[in-house]
Structure 1
Amino acid sequence: MTFSDATKPGLRIVAASLLIASIGASLGACSNFGDRTKILEEEPTIPADVLYNEGLAAMKEGETTKAKEKFAEIDKQHPYSDYARRSMILSAYLNYKRGNYTDAVTEAKRFVTLFPASDDAAYAQYIIAESYYRQIPDVTRDQEMTQRAILAYGQILSKYPDSEYADDARRKIEVGRDQLAGKEMQTGRYYQERGEYLAAVNRFKSVVEAYQTTRHVEEALHRLVECYLALGLVDQAQTAAAVLGHNFPDSPWYKDSYRLLAGKGVEPSESKGSWISRAFRSGQAS
């Protein structure tokens, strides 16, 4: 339709109608926009420092739920601020203190991912490790949390070796390793009591090869003496007893092993080609 066509009476009416409809739609859109603006105006942004200080005050008063809400609001309203970074680590800490270990790990991992060069990154990694450590069960149960804790503490030693958390990480890695060794011993004794000596040997062997620095290695060597004698492998039993006596001469487990061998008319005697001898030579070298 040309401009001259629009001047015709019938077409002018149609054009006017279309214009009125267009104006109405525009006014409706403006009205909706105004409603949205009104909603936004009803929810003013609170300054990050105000929220942060309110969160700290709530923490001081022991109101952890309120504190978490304040810190979460900072992350929502001011996601790229320095206060958001600080709030993230404090939220992880609050979850840890309340025993919400899954949430603590999630938030601390997020912090490490987003701010790996931060001064607080080592602390975030420590929260991850501690959260796993607090969930370590007794030796009769699955040790997945123990393994996770050891790996998380290992990250502290590899990424933040000079941090204030390094010494505690080393100590708790050893505690975790002792726990894993204890699980192997518990399972090995279970098999031994049922006469499944080969299965038991494999468990005790694991302790000798992988956990020589734990308190369980002495018993593991003695149990190997018992199992090998039961299997008729006297030379292996003699080697286990000899290695036990050489490394732990005052151990009551060695005295028991010596008596067992004496009852068979033999004494401890080390075979240098035995896996037991190689395991200990390798352990001493490392």
Structure 2
Amino acid sequence: MLAVFAIAIFAGCSSNPTEHDETAGWSAGRLYAAAKEAQGEGSWETATKMLEKLEARYPYGRFAQQAQLELAYVYWKSNEPGSALAAADRFIKLHPNHPAVDYAYYLKGLVNFNEDLGLVGHLSNQDLTERDPKAAREAFDSFKELVTRFPNSKYAADSIKRMNYLVNALASLEVHVARYYMKRGAYIAAANRAQVAVETYPQAPAIEEAMFILVAAYDKLGMNDLRDDAERVMKKNFPNSRYYTEGLERKVPWWKLW
């Protein structure tokens, strides 16, 4: 009886795991169709499984390439941004000349953009000085790569809009930190962060406030020559700036004006 029991256990452990896989024997086309159907229904977990099986069983050919690209999108929709970025990078590395490689760059930008929501998705709940702008900068780099390499891409126009938004957000972050230092009397640090904003994002809306902080910080430090230089630039570019009357107490951030 013990021998029979052992044989039964061994037979159960050695059974083929694909026996219960309903997709066993499916063609690449059928797996891809099932993945597309699942995507259409918003069943991202099912779509992921179908695409992963497709790539594993049929690693070559057009279906495999399409599966690699769509996996990046499906991972993103499944709230797996790390896997989405890895899949997009892998596609770019394996197929640098693929007609859809511009989409891979665009998708990388979208993943990082939405991961951070352009820095301002939850500003009401988190101090900007505590935020890490890494995702925003990486999103900007991906969009920039797309626009530079594929200026005629159908994703280029939207990428440019998102780049402009990110520039404004990143500039606003620098100015926010500069304002934070001003309020705490760290005038050198405030001047340095305001200067970074002015030099890095000269066209952003937040530069008006950055220039005002520069003037105020240099004045507090007794650096009269630098203060006067900054004030000349301020008055030339923003002659009617509200900061002359309101100071640094802003009531409405730039992103809420939209």
TM-score by length of 1: 0.71
Equivalence for 1:96: 76
Higher relative contact order (CA 8 A, sep 6+): 2
Equivalence for 2:235: 245
Alignment of 1:99-178 (within 5 A): 99-136=79-116, 137=119, 138=123, 139-140=128-129, 141-178=131-168
Q: Deviations over 1:252-279 (max 9, x none)?
A: 125568xxxxxxxxxxxxxxxxxxxxxx
Equivalence for 2:222: 232
Q: Is the 8 A contact 1:58 1:64 kept in 2?
A: yes
Deviation at 1:55, TM superposition (A): 1.6
1:216 has 2:196 as partner: no
Deviation at 1:209, TM superposition (A): 1.3
Q: Distance in 2 between matches of 1:121 and 1:209?
A: 33
Alignment of 1:53-72 (within 5 A): 53-72=33-52
1:85 has 2:71 as partner: no
Q: Deviations over 1:170-216 (max 9, x none)?
A: 22222222222222112212222222211211111111111111111
Q: Distance in 2 between matches of 1:205 and 1:41?
A: 62
What SS class does the counterpart of residue 149 from structure 1 fall into?
helix
Equivalence for 2:9: none
TM-score by length of 2: 0.78
Q: Distance in 2 between matches of 1:254 and 1:96?
A: 46
Equivalence for 1:183: 173
Equivalence for 1:14: none
Q: Distance in 2 between matches of 1:187 and 1:124?
A: 33
- Would the alpha carbon gap of residues 208 and 40 (structure 1) be closer, same or farther in structure 2, given more than 3 Å must change? closer
Equivalence for 1:197: 187
Equivalence for 1:277: none
Equivalence for 1:6: none
Q: Deviations over 1:121-164 (max 9, x none)?
A: 11111111110111224433111111111111111122222101
Q: Distance in 2 between matches of 1:172 and 1:41?
A: 45
What SS class does the counterpart of residue 135 from structure 1 fall into?
helix
Aligned residues: 221
- 5+ residue gaps, structure 2: 1-13, 248-258
Deviation at 1:41, TM superposition (A): 10
RMSD between aligned residues: 2.3
Q: Distance in 1 between matches of 2:90 and 2:79?
A: 18
- Would the alpha carbon gap of residues 120 and 233 (structure 1) be closer, same or farther in structure 2, given more than 3 Å must change? same
